[in-house]
Chains A and B, each alone.
Chain A
Amino acid sequence: MSSNWTKEIRAIFMKELKSEWRSPHAFLTGILFGIISIVAISIAAFNIHVSPTLAAGLLWTIFLFTVVGTLGRVMIAEEESGTADLLRLVSRPHSVYWGKQLFNFIQTLAYAVLLTALYILFNGVHIAFFGLMVASLFAGSVALSGAVTFSGALAARAANRQALAASLALPLMIPVATWGETSLRVAFGEGFYDAGRLAALGLFCYGVVESALGPYLYAALWKK
């Protein structure tokens, strides 16, 4: 990657980071949504033994809805504030996409770490393979951020953009949820290690393919 690309991607990423730093409402909304979901699940499952399969499934459901509800906004906000046209004039589509996806990835990873820690703390989930859990969360964050950035880009210029971004993202996340749940279930002690490792690898590969495809498709829509 040439230094121009790196500079452009870094500029977009820093722009997102600074605007989020100034008013971190979106990030905090996501965190609040995740915490409320975890508390609600913990209350509902009070005095009940939650199996690793169910625990992994619930945790992934919380991730999906937290991410879908908050992160599509990164693309949508540009259209709402009227800065998208300016961005189209001064930068290239691939660098805009990469910068925004990188920002979404960092946020998704932060959600994943924080919400998993809270979930494990509240529900006393046993961790059998810590490394696999970390790999699953990392690969899941790559794949989730790819899906949510792309669907945000597609919905950004529509009238019903927020709801549309969520409805477009969820079908793209089905393999993510399946592989994520499998790898996390094994990390929580149910199933074979090899199956969990393969699921985490599948998740990572899906995320990479999605992240590679996204900028090209975004570039095709750039000036439409």
Chain B
Amino acid sequence: MNKDSQDSNRSAFAAFSSSLSDLGNLISKGCDALDLPFRSPPLALAARIVFFVFVSFTIVRSFTVGDSPAFQRPELARIFFWHFPCPMLATICLLQGTWWSLRYLRSDSLLFDIKALAVLELGFIFSLLTMATGIVFSQAEWGAWWQWDPRQTSFLLVLLIYGAYFILRGSYREPERKASFSSAYILAAILPALFLIYIFPYLPQIAQVSLHPTGSILSGQIKGGYAQVIWMTLIVTSLFSIWVFRLKVNAAQIEHDLYELS
């Protein structure tokens, strides 16, 4: 065997072992992706069991807790348990996504864009759920699926902002352009989004025509076991979204690594 062919074999072997090592890292990342924040397997298992019990208890409790007199048709108003956390989480996701987008633009690290995309996708899903559960609640309480109520309308517009962000992302092929253009857009769109969430519904002429209640839990209109279930659903949904977020970020990192390898 001559020297050239030996060198060629050696470099082929080095490339092969490097690919194997990359693959090993990817598999290990994939295994990590299925883990909760707990690294030790028994702790992760225990956390999963506790979470499962808590979710089950919350679901059962949301059907068995007594009716609240704060609603016009209390027996149909139970969807409120699952409606309440959705707009809150959609708003938090939007703010968090904006923060990571800003960090991406300042650092050019794709990890921040991956995080921003994951959290904004979750926010989009929560916005859709807000609309879906809100429409059902509107029919149950006010007798119409859609009222053009200012709060309903303003959240529909927030949904459109999310929609514009994803359309912009889809319009570019290159990962870097995708990331930077959509990050810039969400930073500009946070102003109208905050206006729609925190200013527009509370303008005096808007607030007085809105059917949507404000501060009904904090002001004590909804209390006792009913209020407890509302807080429980908020905790369950928040924990669930953190878990899904971690999975999405890890999956996106693996996808990005595979893209770099290919």
Which positions 184-224 of chain A face chain B at CB distance < 8 Å?
191, 195, 206, 209-210, 213-214, 217-218, 220-221, 224
- Taking CB atoms, residues of chain B closer than 8 Å to A191 are 205
> Is the beta-carbon distance between A221 and B184 smaller than 8 angstroms?
yes
Instruction: Determine how close the nearest CB of chain B comes to the CB of A221; give it in whole angstroms.
Output: 5
B180 pairs with A221, CB closer than 8 A: yes
B contact patch SS: helix
**Does B99 sit at the interface, judged by CB under 8 A?**
no
Q: Which residues of A contact B125 (CB under 8 A)?
A: none
B180 touches A224 (CB 8 A): yes
Using an 8 Å CB-CB cutoff, how does the interface string of B150-191 with A read, 1 for contact, 0 for none?
000000010011001001100110001100110011011101
With the chains together, A70 CA to B122 CA distance in Å?
34
Known: A154-B168, A157-B172. A175 touches B195 (CB 8 A): yes
Beta-carbon nearest neighbor of B183 in chain A: A220
Q: How many A-B residue pairs have CB under 8 A?
A: 75
Q: Nearest Cβ distance between residue B137 and chain A, in whole angstroms?
A: 24
Give min CB distance, B199 to chain A, whole Å: 8
Query: Closest chain A residue to B182 by CB distance?
Result: A154
Name the residue in B157, B176, B191, B192 with the highest tally of chain A Cβ atoms < 10 Å from its Cβ. B192
Q: In the docked arrangement, what's the CA distance between A40 and B171, Å? A: 34
Rounded to whole Å, the gap between the CB of B107 and the closest CB of chain A is 11
Interface size class of B (residues with CB under 8 A): 20 to 34
**Are B195 and A168 in contact, with the CB atoms below 8 A?**
no
Chain A residues with CB under 8 A of B164: 167-168, 170-171
B124 to chain A, nearest CB (A): 13
How many chain A residues sit at the interface, stated as a range, is 20 to 34
Q: Tell me the bound Cα distance from A195 to B206 in angstroms.
A: 13
B54 within 8 A of A: no
**Contact residues in A for B167 (Cβ distance below 8 Å):** 164, 167-168
Known: A154-B168, A159-B171. Is A174-B192 also a contact (CB below 8 A)? Answer: yes
Question: Counting CB contacts under 8 A, is B243 at the interface?
Answer: no
Q: Are the C-beta atoms of B188 and A172 separated by less than 8 Å? A: yes
Contact yes or no, A164 B176, CB < 8 A: no
15 residue pairs of the A-B complex, CB under 8 angstroms, read A154-B168, A155-B171, A158-B171, A160-B171, A168-B168, A168-B185, A170-B160, A170-B164, A171-B160, A171-B161, A175-B191, A175-B192, A195-B205, A206-B195, A221-B180
Which A residues are closer than 8 A to B by beta carbons?
Answer: 150, 154-155, 157-160, 164, 167-168, 170-175, 178, 191, 195, 206, 209-210, 213-214, 217-218, 220-221, 224
9 tightest A-B contacts by CB?
A158-B171, A217-B184, A175-B195, A171-B161, A220-B105, A224-B180, A174-B192, A175-B192, A171-B164
